Amino acid sequence: MAAINRDDVAHLARLAHIEMSAEELDRMAGELAVIVDAVKSVSEAAGDDVPATSHPIPLSNVFREDVVGHTFTAEQALSGAPDSDENRFKVPAILDEA
Amino acid sequence: MSTDATLSFEEAMEKYDPVLGFEVHVELNTQTKMFSSAPNVFGDEPNTNVNEVDLGMPGVLPVLNKTAVESSIKIGLALNCKIAESCRFARKNYFYPDTPKNFQTSQYDEPIAYDGYLDIELSDGTVFRVEIERAHMEEDAGKLTHLGGSAGRIQGADYSLVDYNRAGVPLVEIVTKPIEGAGSRAPELAKAYVAAVREIVKNLGVSDAKMERGNVRCDANVSLRPHGRERFGIRSETKNVNSLRAVEHAVRYEIQRHAAVLDSGEPVIQETRHWHEDTRTTTSGRAKSDADDYRYFPEPDLVPVVASREWVEELRATLPEPPAARRKRLQADWGYSDLEFRDVVNAGVMDEIEETIAAGATASVARKWWMGEIVGRAKNADVDPGQLGVEPATIVELNKMVEDGKINNKMASEVLDGVLAGEGTPAEIVEKRGLAVVSDDGPLLEAIDAALAAQPDVADKIRAGKLQAIGAIVGGVMKATRGQADAGRVKELILEKLGVNA
């Protein structure tokens, strides 16, 4: 992986909706570069005989039967919501549709 | 709202070659959600079909619904796909209130099904192969209602209300490869493709497949290139085109709009378009930007899905006959012409005719009743023919009465009205209404004598061998008996009376 520069950090911060100051961007670019280097050393240790893995636990097919379990009431569901109306979560208008 | 310039469809086709692509989302009809045991039910009170997993509360773990995986594999098989030996889920990260987790659990680099195809039959019988890139599992998002400002529109809304009942409902997203070579059939192909996918998932029993409820949703990609050029043009993606008719119209409109943009020398903007059914146009949504950087990464809370070949073959063995193959078989069995069969399919009575034949009617009798009698009544009542409530046994009984000479076709139609009005069984209605073909020869002979006496010249013609003249006498008898005579028997008696051998 290429080194992480300040622009990359600013880009990620914007995507993650995290506001960062100029100083924070500078500092984080340096810290992330060190972390990426540390992770890179893993690929040096792993030879061609080690397959890529996305999961540390050697399990597959952990399934649930298709049987209805518990639900919340609307009141419970909304109990932690900052705002609600008509049994629904009330959120600010967001123009950018995902 | 500004209106985009368009070329006529014909002119657009003269100058450009369309390339299509579809993403069809199918909601599965499992009892529960993809990763939680909350019920998967449409139309309930808001935020009652949710639990801590659907609301993305801290520390919760998703657990995969086995039935949803099996349904996904069945869809993959029905689309002639390969089923991945092993696949995994990924997080698609974005910020929008339709997902409380700030990511959608989906599949990215390892879909459960890939490399398939679907042969689509167009209205004139042309078969067009659509290649399937992949079919992957994911979860649906919550439903937002935009309020305040100009009501219902996202632009100018003051706030939105969110219902998470739909959040986590199992989805299979079916993605085609670029579809080239459709030419001017592109809009028709678009509609036929979505119709075929809908029919397949309905036939598999894995989805309710109601487009009006969003069970099947289509995003249509369109691009144009000059004829003869290999490189694709820049595409637009029209979102959530939610009826078969709208799919056809949206593709046609986008072709016309792209053509006008290209003609003006401007590049097409790669963007999302919103379809408006009322004006049959699209408007610009959001330009693709780095907001589309979803930073997918493997979902750490779910382990891989391994589909053993035994499991896949077990599921393959449960697949019903594909709809297209079934149609071919039924047409051959019934001996209908292409036109007759297409009319039956378009009228939506293929299943009903199959049931009627199974109940004992011949293929031609079943068709005569459904196409000749029932479809028209359903149209008047503004319901589907199958919903009119005509039982196959009723048709068989009515037909038997006609064949036995108890009633004629006109009376049978009247009896059917009685059945639909809830007056009882055909036999009861015949009894109650006093409907019966006059089969006692006495009254018939009297009427025949009278008719012959009234038209002596016609009688002479028949005696002379001009048998086609007999219609006038039969007509007279039918009139005298108020249509209750058996026309066949009347004919026999006239010939007997006049001593003519037919």
Q: What is the domain-level CATH number for residue B485? A: 1.10.10.410
Helices (H), B181-236: 186-204
* A68 domain-assigned: no
User: E-assigned strands of B28-179?
Assistant: 64-65, 82-83, 86-87, 90-93, 103-106, 113-121, 127-139, 143-147, 159-163, 170-176
Residue B181 has pLDDT above 90, yes or no: yes
Domain co-membership, B398 together with B458? no
* Residue B408 pLDDT: 83
Contact A60 B305 (CB under 8 A): yes
Domain co-membership, B416 together with B304? no
State pLDDT tens for residues B430-449.
888 888 776 677 778 888 88
* A23 domain-assigned: yes
* A27 domain-assigned: yes
* B341 domain-assigned: yes
Chain B: residue whose CA lies nearest to A98: B96
Q: Which domain holds residue B370?
A: 330-420
* B95 domain-assigned: yes
Low-confidence spans in chain A with pLDDT less than 70: 1-2, 54, 95-98
Report the CATH number at residue A7. 1.10.20.60
B3: its two tokens: 């209106």
B130: its two tokens: 């659509």
Tell me which chain B residues have a C-beta less than 8 angstroms from the C-beta of A88: 46-47, 145, 161-163
Q: Which domain holds residue A8?
A: 1-46
Residue B171 has pLDDT above 70, yes or no: yes
**DSSP assignments along B298-363, one per residue:** E-TTSPPEE--HHHHHHHHHTPPPPHHHHHHHHHHHHT--HHHHHHHHHHT-HHHHHHHHHTT--H
Residue B227 has pLDDT above 70, yes or no: yes
Domain co-membership, B68 together with B194? yes
Domain co-membership, B310 together with B397? no
Tell me which chain B residues have a C-beta less than 8 angstroms from the C-beta of A68: 31-32, 37-39
Domain co-membership, B312 together with B187? yes
* B38 domain-assigned: yes
* B183 domain-assigned: yes
Contact B37 A93 (CB under 8 A): no
Contact B32 A57 (CB under 8 A): no
- Which residue among B362, B386, B420 closes a domain? B420
Domain co-membership, B60 together with B97? yes
- Chain A contact present for B205, CB below 8 A: no
In percent, how much of chain B has pLDDT > 90?
67
- pLDDT band, residue B322 (cuts 50/70/90): very high
Q: Give B 392-431 residues with CB within 8 A of chain A.
A: none
Tell me which chain A residues have a C-beta less than 8 angstroms from the C-beta of B139: none
Domain co-membership, B215 together with B95? yes
- Chain B contact present for A19, CB below 8 A: no
Contact B64 A62 (CB under 8 A): yes
> How many structural domains does chain B have?
3
Chain A: residue whose CA lies nearest to B66: A63
Contact B304 A64 (CB under 8 A): no
CA distance B175 to B81: 12
Residue B290 has pLDDT above 70, yes or no: no
Domain co-membership, B281 together with B309? yes
* B163 domain-assigned: no
